[in-house]
Amino acid sequence: MRFYPLLAFVASASTAAIPDVEAQANGGSSSPSCKADNREIAISKAAFLKAKVIPPRPSQYNDKVNVIPSFNPDATIAIDYNGKQVEYGTKFQTTETTLQPNVVFTAESDLRYADYNYTVIIADPDALSPAGTTPGPLLKNYLHWIYYDAKPCLERKQQPSAKDQPMYAAPTPPSPQAHRYTFLVYRQPKGVYTPPNPATFPQTLGASRGMFDVNGYVKAGRLEGPVAGNYFLEAAPVGGGS
Ligand SMILES: *[C@@H]1O[C@H](CO)[C@@H](O)[C@H](O)[C@H]1NC(C)=O
């Protein structure tokens, strides 16, 4: 199955992809049942660069702006909120993202999908407001959701799970400038995995979901990647906000 076009894939994921995946999980074929299109992978990398989720070069990493130092994707992640797709900068209203989205990501091109589990992180690097505005990203990153032991090609439907750590928290951007809500997919070490406690990875002490150190968490969990990513934009409601 091809991942492009994204809409068609998501529409069929819940029916077509799942039987394939389960057949392989029971020791079937070594080729993944869903793979990203190279073009779609290139689009995701270009989008992260353009949105400054990554710097042009890892050595140029700017802790106020960038989320991760580098991004070499080998998969793609499709996200939808009640059918509205997240596609590299899609604008959402706060009322559209109250409930957690449906999520599915592809297998990596060279890996047997059944050999690894993945962790999905959703963070806002622009809390309270983007760099260059007032008050600025004082709470970068604001952690919206982590779930672990996720499998490629299996759509994560809109329901809580015991593998949520923490559970999804709806965006409530206080600034009129849009925030980049960034989705990152990391490969976990093989086998039974105990994730780090995200509360122990704030950049400074005292914050709950604010100031989450994505890169520190990734290192502590011995996660690899991100292998896939996406983001959407959301600002305070017009006439509302802080
Ligand atoms: C995936 O996670 C499950 C549940 O923790 C674990 O039993 C299994 O070994 C993991 N699979 C791989 C390939 O790491």
Q: What is the pLDDT of residues 110-156, one digit of tens each?
A: 887 778 999 999 999 999 999 999 999 999 999 999 999 999 998 88
**Residue 118 structure tokens:** 């993945």
How far, in whole angstroms, is CA 225 from its chain's centroid? 11
pLDDT at 27: 37
Ligand 1 centroid–CA 99 distance in Å is 27
> Per residue in 5-52, pLDDT tens?
444 444 433 333 333 343 334 333 444 468 898 999 999 999 999 999
What superfamily does domain 5-234 belong to in CATH? PEBP-like (3.90.280.10)
DSSP assignment of 102-128 equals EEEEPBPTTS-GGG--EEEEEEETTSS
Burial 200-213 (b: 16+ CB within 10 A, else e): ebbbeeeeebbbbb
Which residue has a Cα nearest atom 5 of ligand 1?
A: 192
CA-based end-to-end distance of the chain = 45
Distance CA 230, CA 23 (A): 28
pLDDT at 112: 78
Ligand 1 centroid–CA 193 distance in Å is 7
Domain ranges of the chain: 5-234
Give, for 219, the enclosing helix (H) or strand (E): helix 214-220
pTM of the model: 0.86
Q: Which has more pLDDT, 77 or 17?
A: 77
Ligand 1 centroid–CA 117 distance in Å is 6
**Residue 133 structure tokens:** 């505005």
